[in-house]
Amino acid sequence: QTVVTQEPSLTVSPGGTVTLTCASSTGAVASGSYPNWFQQKPGQAPRALIYSTSNKHSWTPARFSGSLLGGKAALTLSGVQPEDEAEYYCLLYFGSGWVFGGGTKLTVL
Amino acid sequence: QITLKESGPTLVKPTQTLTLTCTFSGFSLSTSGLGVGWIRQPPGKALEWLALIYWDDDKRYSPSLKSRLTITKDTSKNQVVLTMTNMDPVDTATYYCAHRTSGPLFDYWGQGILVTVSS
- Interchain CB distance below 8 Å, A45 and B48: no
Alpha carbons within 13 A on the beta-carbon side of A74: 12
pLDDT given at position B117: 98
Q: In this complex, is the C-beta atom of A36 within 8 Å of any C-beta atom belonging to chain B? A: yes
Confidence label for B103 from pLDDT (cuts 50, 70 and 90): confident
* Pairing mode, strands A86-93 and A98-100: antiparallel
Q: Is the dihedral of CA B30, B74, A48, A51 positive or negative?
A: negative
How sure is the predictor about A49, in pLDDT bands with cuts at 50, 70 and 90?
A: very high
How far is Cα of residue B45 from the mean position of the Cα atoms in its chain?
A: 18
Q: Judge: B103–A96 Cβ closer than 8 Å, yes or no.
A: no
- DSSP secondary structure of A9-29: EEEE-TT-EEEEEEEETTB--
B104, pLDDT greater than 80? no
Average pLDDT, rounded, for chain B: 97
Q: How many CB pairs under 8 A join A and B?
A: 63
B114 Cβ under 8 Å from any chain A Cβ: no
Q: Given an 8 Å threshold on Cβ–Cβ distance, is B48 in contact with A55?
A: no
The rounded distance, in Å, linking the Cα atoms of B71 and B60 is: 9
